[in-house]
């Protein structure tokens, strides 16, 4: 009976956790700033000529079958070589995959982005981005453990689940849009500012409210996911260091997430490889996901290349089972900035 009680407690904890984050599971990255097209479509081409990122996250290994999330994106500018342009035309392509628990609830999405950034002057831009694509979800009904499969003492997989899923797999069209203000310091400016860049964005995903149910496609609509963020790079005078503060807000139906904190970045050296300027830098950061986790972050940069690692320390009510162990994630990035 103790074993059964323990399993029930674990299932309740997992369900509570899932109810808290599942609505925003499609973008549940602690390093969301390095998954730009999942944060705001208008980030396409906003701050660099070409930007490509690979992301991976695994969480809740200490609680149940781990949740695994992968994402990849590439974005770039179409008219960056054109002189005296009044605006920047950019595009992007993103892919997202997420798999949850014993039932292998799998979500996939592929989206194409288009953005236009109006240049107010050499440093300031206002951008509009749109996103459209397709999503797909599937479930393995035979992977779960159901109440009817407990005979009163132990679990018996040979017993019928009595569960009927009308739609074990379905696909849908998806649409989103975003606005962005971005400032990037002009290296030719006569007045030098400590602010290297500032980004302020607001976006909405799933604007068309696609169906989101394995039982009845007409009854359950996917909530619109709202995102808002501010981040910046601020140089520390008379040093090789800078701080990178950021706050990221997301709301999807009853679920809400607030992630805030900062990195400290220091330039390690400047090297030339084949005549190419390749500065190296290391960053360490501490972020808090409100009432959920503390995220410790590390990043190493070599020229246009970067690699980042993050580990979440769970501080929510699930801590009784997770023992503070949340999840880890890493990313690889190629970011080419036109000099």
| Residue listed under structure tokens 């499609």 | 26
User: CB of 26 within 8 A of CB of 107?
Assistant: yes
**By the 8 A CB rule, do 117 and 127 touch?**
yes
Q: What is the pLDDT of residue 269?
A: 81
- Min mean pLDDT across 75-84, 121-130, 240-249, 329-338 is at 75-84
> Above 90 in pLDDT, residue 131?
yes
Tell whether the model's pLDDT for residue 122 goes beyond 80.
Answer: yes
- Find the mean pLDDT for residues 146-168: 74
Closest CA to 116 of 91, 141, 97: 91
Instruction: For residue 170, give the DSSP letter.
Output: E
Phi then psi for residue 290, to 5 deg, are: -50, 120
Lowest mean pLDDT among 46-55, 127-136, 233-242, 309-318: 309-318
Contact 200, 181 (CB under 8 A): yes
CA neighbor of 215 nearest in space, from 158, 285, 168: 168
Q: pLDDT band at residue 301, thresholds of 50, 70 and 90?
A: very high
Confidence band of 38 (pLDDT split at 50, 70, 90): very high
What pLDDT was estimated at residue 64? 60
Percentage with pLDDT > 90 across the chain: 50
Which residue has better confidence, 247 or 61? 247
The predicted pLDDT at position 215 comes to 73
pLDDT higher at 106 or 64: 106
Across the chain, what does the average pLDDT equal? 83
Taking a C-beta distance cutoff of 8 angstroms, is the pair 75, 37 a contact?
yes
Q: How confident is the model at residue 221 (pLDDT cuts 50, 70, 90)?
A: confident
- pTM, entire model: 0.83
**How does DSSP assign 176-222, residue by residue?**
EEEEEEEEE--TT-SS--SEEEEEEEEEEE-TT--B--SS-TTT-BP
- Which pLDDT belongs to residue 21? 37
Q: What is the pLDDT of residues 163-173, one digit of tens each?
A: 666 678 889 99
Q: Which residues does residue 119 pair with via DSSP β-bridges, in sequence order?
A: 125
Burial (CB < 10 A; 0-12, 13-18, 19+), residue 106, is middle
Q: Which of 49-53, 183-187, 314-318 has the lowest mean pLDDT?
A: 314-318
Question: Which has more pLDDT, 298 or 191?
Answer: 298
CA distance 26 to 226: 13
d(CA 281, CA 53): 18
Sequence length of the chain is 339
pLDDT of residue 15: 38
Most confident of 4-13, 214-223, 241-250: 241-250
CATH T-level fold of 2-336: Porin (2.40.160)
**DSSP code of 236?**
P
> Do 58 and 327 form a contact (C-beta atoms < 8 A)?
yes
| Residue 1 neighbours by CB distance under 10 Å | 7
Q: Domain coordinates of the chain in residue numbers?
A: 2-336
**In the prediction, which pLDDT does 95 show?**
95
Cα 71 to Cα 69: distance, rounded to the nearest angstrom: 7
Give Cβ neighbours of residue 279 (< 8 Å, ≥ 6 apart): 267, 269, 270, 271, 301, 303
Q: Please choose, from the candidates 114, 75, 102, 96, the residue with its C-alpha nearest in 3D space to the C-alpha of residue 27.
A: 96
Q: Residue 193: its pLDDT value, please?
A: 64
| pLDDT reported for residue 4 | 39
């Amino acid at each position: 009976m103790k074993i059964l009680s323990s399993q029930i407690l674990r299932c309740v904890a997992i369900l509570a956790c899932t109810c808290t984050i599942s609505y925003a599971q499609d973008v549940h990255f602690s390093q969301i700033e390095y998954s730009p097209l999942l944060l705001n479509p208008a980030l396409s081409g906003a701050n660099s000529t070409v930007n490509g990122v690979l992301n991976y996250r695994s969480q809740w290994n200490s609680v149940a079958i781990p949740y695994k999330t992968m994402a990849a994106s590439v974005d770039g500018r179409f008219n960056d070589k054109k002189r005296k342009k009044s605006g920047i035309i950019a595009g992007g392509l993103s892919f997202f995959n997420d798999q949850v628990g014993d039932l292998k609830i799998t979500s996939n999405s592929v989206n194409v982005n288009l953005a236009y950034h109006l240049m107010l002057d050499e440093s300031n831009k206002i951008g509009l981005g749109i996103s459209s694509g397709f999503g797909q979800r599937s479930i393995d009904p035979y992977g779960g453990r159901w109440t009817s499969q407990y005979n009163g003492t132990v679990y018996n997989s040979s017993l019928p689940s009595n569960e009927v899923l009308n739609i074990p797999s379905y696909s849908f069209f998806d649409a989103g849009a975003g606005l962005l203000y971005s400032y990037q310091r002009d290296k030719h400016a006569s007045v030098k500012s400590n602010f290297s860049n500032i980004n302020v964005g607001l976006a909405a995903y799933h604007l068309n409210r696609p169906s989101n149910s394995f039982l009845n496609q007409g009854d359950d609509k996917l909530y619109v996911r709202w995102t808002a963020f501010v981040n910046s790079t601020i140089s520390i005078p008379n040093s090789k260091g800078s701080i990178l503060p950021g706050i990221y807000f997301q709301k999807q139906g009853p679920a809400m997430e607030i992630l805030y904190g900062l990195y400290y970045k220091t330039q390690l050296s400047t090297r030339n490889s084949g005549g190419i300027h390749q500065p190296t830098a290391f960053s360490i950061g501490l972020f808090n996901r409100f009432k959920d986790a503390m995220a410790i972050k590390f990043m190493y940069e070599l020229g246009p290349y970067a690699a980042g690692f993050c580990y979440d320390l769970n501080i929510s009510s699930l801590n009784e089972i997770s023992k503070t162990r949340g999840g880890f994630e890493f990313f690889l990035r190629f970011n080419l900035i036109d000099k």
